[in-house]
Amino acid sequence: MKYYTVAELTVTARGWARDYVENVTPMVERYGGRYLARTSAFEQLEGEREPAQIVLIIEWPDEEAIASFYESEEYRPYRERRIAGSRGEFLLVAGEDSNQLARISG
């Protein structure tokens, strides 16, 4: 089953961002991930909380791929700098329909 990383980020210290994008993008791809969206072009349709600056969605072939990437020593220093230089939410979402009503390709 596919999994998705869904993240909303607001950068609070810019020093890490360029290096992160340049180095983590190919790293994600080596671990089997594929960016579906990484953008500041989005519209908040519902909700009252302040929207983040950036929304990203990464598709992973399975839960093992994202776990291997996220916990890797290779990614650790980039993750730490991102956490220190931003605020936001990172979610791991299973590519399933828990109600079994939608068609999901896998």
The pLDDT value given to residue 99:
76
DSSP per-residue letters across 48-84: SSPPPSEEEEEEESSHHHHHHHHT-TTTHHHHHHHHH
CB 73, CB 15: distance < 8 Å: no
pTM, rounded to two decimals:
0.86
CATH, domain range 3-94: 3.30.70.100
pLDDT tens readout for residues 35-85? 999 999 999 899 998 899 999 999 999 999 999 999 999 999 999 999 999
Average pLDDT over residues 29-37: 97
Tokens of 104: 């999901």
The answer on pLDDT for 105 being more than 80 is no
Asked if residue 3 lies in contact with residue 93, where contact means CB atoms within 8 angstroms, the answer is yes
Domain residue spans of the chain: 3-94
Give the position of tokens 């939410």: 89
Token pair 């999994």: residue? 3
How close are the terminal C-alpha atoms of the chain, in Å? 6
